[in-house]
Structure 1
Amino acid sequence: MKDIFDECQMGDLKLKSRIIRTGTWETETDEGGFLTPSIYDRYENMAKSGVGAIVSEIFALDHKDRFYPYSTNMNYKGFIKDYKMVTDIVHKYDVPILGQLAFFYYDDGENQKVEANDISQEGIRKLQAEVIMAAKKFSFAGFDGIQINMGNNFYLARFMNPYFNQRDDKYGGNTENRVRISSEIIKVIKSTMDMHVSCRINPWDVRKGGMASDESIAIACELEKAGADSIQLTARTISQIYDKGVKHPFLVYVDDLIDAVDIPVVLGGSLRDMATIKEVLNNSNVELVSMSKPFVAQADFLSDWKENGDGVAICQSCNNCYSKKTSTCFKY
């Protein structure tokens, strides 16, 4: 029987439990971008609660990005010092931490919102260099790895999606070509840094002519081939599959993905209570589960779960923290 608080591995990372905390927005910095004391407290409360690993709030590449006002700034002068303190706090509890990079737009120097079909190969090289530099900054700040968000509706998700990408060069067409922009980034990071690389992907797209589940699995295989250490599931939308009698919408897909790759797969998506998570762990091939909003409502809720052997997150799934792009809970 698998238990939530089993010691386990996520690739090269040793975990104290099967729960991966996933971050979203960061809104508690001061005007200069420096971290406030509440951020350090939040990370410490999560780290000491029994979480297996922590994925940070979103870091953005560019101050002109759509979500930059709600994201962590990695370009302010105190970034390395501030986040070295964060990672030191987390490591004090023997918990690994990944920096999450996600960007919606990309500015190639000619177009602030250049899309997959229009970006030149020189622009692609610029983008790749900026992502690799972000990974190096994470390394300097003490992060154990980088999670590149290639899911939801972020830039790299669109680039890999046949709905958006109709290029006729080596970065378009078949799956390998559409993933190439990301594969080349991963190869450089893995060959030059001691960093865990996690890729966040969608299992499907819910667009006509978009990405289906078999295409998503093919994308995951390409990312693994490039050197990715783990895959985490997310989605642009998951509501369309809830009416099919499945308790968790990704369970119709995740075992096929796990069978197709030899790297850890982290199941995400609206998990809120210990009983359901245990049921998923013991009735599927899932080994690792991610949670996001419950940590916004109560950063240390896993301490109660571990002590009581049962529990339900106080998060009410109101979605205000996400929709209003804040790192704080409106109810608690």
Structure 2
Amino acid sequence: MAKLFSPITFQDVELKNRIVMSPMCMYSVFKQDGIITPFHFTHLVSRAVGQVGLVITEATAVQPEGRISAEDLGIWGDEHVAGLTELNEHLHAYGAKTGIQLAHAGRKAELESDIFAPSAIKFNDAYKVPKEMSQEDIKQTIDAFKQAARRSKLAGFDIVEIHGAHGYLVNQFLSPLTNQRTDNYGGSRENRYRFLSEIIEAVKTEWNGPIFVRISTDEYNEAGNTMEDILYFSSEMKKQGIDLIDCSSGGVVPAKINSYPGYQVPRCEAIKKETAIATGAVGLITSGLQAEEIVQNDRADLVIIGRALLRNPYWAKAAADELGYALEAPTQYERGWQ
């Protein structure tokens, strides 16, 4: 049996296979209220019909000022719960488990309102200078993640993922490139980890299911976090009970990245082997054979598919055909899949 299509369990949540739909921003909340739209239903549910094991929403803002754009999904208010509840009902109907990526853009928010970051350093000349967060701002943001976790539970999600990658707020605290604070949230890597650590503990007070964290495993800058730093953060997350690290890279500062098939997998594999925590591999994974190699060689526990699933909602079927695996079809599609 293809390992890609074998089940895997995180706490009491069993995924029917190792294929995950990566969180990808769609910039499609045209009323700018954070509430899910018909597009999101079509976009996400079609991948569940296509037999993806876990569907994760796009970065979903825990505060309105934490949106990447004004068109992002939100979970900062109770008014967001009803639509997300309905989404989960649809996704679950096709056997998919569901995840929500809780996010805050920090200095990479492109909004008319004030934006916030650990230090008042703009991303590049096209972005605004953010306001340096006070201790009270930090406390309020941690509580926003906590309340977002409560709403995620109400909406029926199976897994919560904290977005700590791509140069957004959590990543800004983790990285010495963006965190120049002199208080207990800056300086040493222990202090830089404190913000994420306190978010995790706050989320756990409202959420008793699996928690994933997405991180940037490479900042593509010699002054950024080293692999030793990344392994330290990963070890700390394991101690706090994090179930899986979603291993992406980049986005912290402008950088030229040499991307190629599987370019992020080696660091994902190193984290899994050095810290004995489950990992998810992401980044130009395009074929069933490539995905099967990754999980068969225990380089990662999950393969997280982005652009390939944008091109083909039935990527799982194509991968199964490539591997000679008879993927069970939705009843309505059986005559086409046989």
Cα gap change, 1:126 to 1:94, in 2 (>3 Å): same
Distance 1:208 1:132, change over 3 A: same
Q: CA offsets, 1:283-332, max 9 Å, x none?
A: 34322110112222232332343356369xxxxxxxxxxxxxxxxxxxxx
Q: Which of 131-140 and 298-307 deviates more?
A: 298-307
Determine the structure 2 residue equivalent to 1:174.
188
Q: Is the 8 A contact 1:139 1:145 kept in 2?
A: no
Q: Is the 8 A contact 1:176 1:222 kept in 2?
A: no
The equivalent of 1:303 in structure 2 is: 317
Give distance in 2, aligned partners of 1:277 and 1:138.
29
Aligned partner (choices 216, 235, 239) of residue 225 of structure 1: 239
> CA 1:294–1:224 in 2, change beyond 3 Å: closer, same or farther?
same
Does residue 18 (structure 1) correspond to residue 32 (structure 2)? The answer is: no
Q: Is the 8 A contact 1:59 1:72 kept in 2?
A: yes
Deviation of 1:76 after TM superposition, in Å, equals 6.6
If the length of structure 2 is used for normalisation, what is the TM-score? 0.80
- The answer to whether the 8 A contact 1:265-1:287 is kept is yes
Aligned position for 1:8:
8
Which whole-Å deviations, capped at 9, do the CAs of 1:15-71 have from their partners, x for residues lacking one? 111111112123444536554434323332212322121111121234344623341
Match status 1:268 vs 2:273: no
Deviation at 1:176, TM superposition (A): 2.1
Please list, as runs of the form range in 1=range in 2, the aligned pairs for 1:184-199 lying within 5 A after superposition.
Answer: 184-199=198-213
Equivalence map 1:145-164=2 (5 Å): 145-164=159-178
The structure-2 alpha-carbon separation of the partners of 1:230 and 1:125, relative to structure 1 and needing over 3 Å to count, comes to: same
3-state secondary structure, aligned to 1:25: coil
Counterpart CA distance in 1 for 2:297 and 2:78 is 48
Distance 1:200 1:68 in 2: 20
What are the residue-to-residue correspondences of 1:178-257 with 2, within 5 Å?
178-236=192-250, 240-242=257-259, 248-257=262-271
CA distance 1:122–1:188, shift in 2 (3 Å):
same
Q: Tell me which residue corresponds to 1:82.
A: 83
Structure-to-structure mapping, 1:53-72, within 5 angstroms: 53-65=54-66, 67-72=68-73
Matched residue of 1:272: which SS? Answer: coil
Using the size of structure 1 for normalisation, the TM-score is 0.82
- Equivalent residues of 1:267, 1:288 under 8 A apart: yes
User: Is the contact made by 1:145 and 1:195 (CA closer than 8 Å) also made in structure 2?
Assistant: yes
Cα distance in 1 between the residues matched to 2:205 and 2:144: 16
Structure 1 counterpart of 2:212, one-letter code: S
* Residue-pair matches, total: 305
User: Secondary structure of 1:192's match?
Assistant: coil
Where does residue 154 of structure 2 map in the other structure? 140
Amino acid at match of 1:179: Y
Using a 3 Å threshold, how does the CA distance of structure 1 residues 21 and 247 change in structure 2: closer, same or farther? closer
Q: Please list the CA deviations of residues 190-241 of structure 1 after superposition, one character each: whole Å capped at 9, or x if unmatched.
A: 2332232111001111123111222111111112222222110111169645
CA distance in 2, matches of 1:184, 1:75: 18
Deviation, structure 1 residue 161: 0.6
Unaligned runs of 5+ in 2: 120-131, 326-338
Distance 1:43 1:60 in 2: 18
SS in 2 for 1:82: helix
Paired with 1:126 and 1:77, the residues of 2 have a C-alpha distance of 17
What is the CA distance between 1:179 and its match in structure 2?
A: 0.9
Name the SS for the 2:234 alignment partner: helix
After superposition, where does 1:280-295 map in structure 2 within 5 Å?
280-295=294-309
- 1:55 is paired with a residue whose SS is strand
Show the counterpart of 1:114. Answer: 116
Residue 308 of structure 2 aligns to a residue whose secondary structure is helix
Distance 1:37 1:112, change over 3 A: closer
Distance in 2 of aligned mates of 1:124 and 1:85: 32
Q: How far off is 1:72 after superposition?
A: 0.8
> Does the CA-based 8 Å contact 2:76-2:148 persist in structure 1?
no
CA distance in 2, matches of 1:66, 1:80: 17
1:46 is matched with which residue?
A: 47
* Structure 1: unaligned runs, 5 residues or longer: 312-332
Q: Which sits farther off after the overlay, 121-130 or 251-260? A: 251-260
Alignment RMSD, CA only? 2.7
Contact 1:8–1:18 under 8 Å retained in 2:
yes
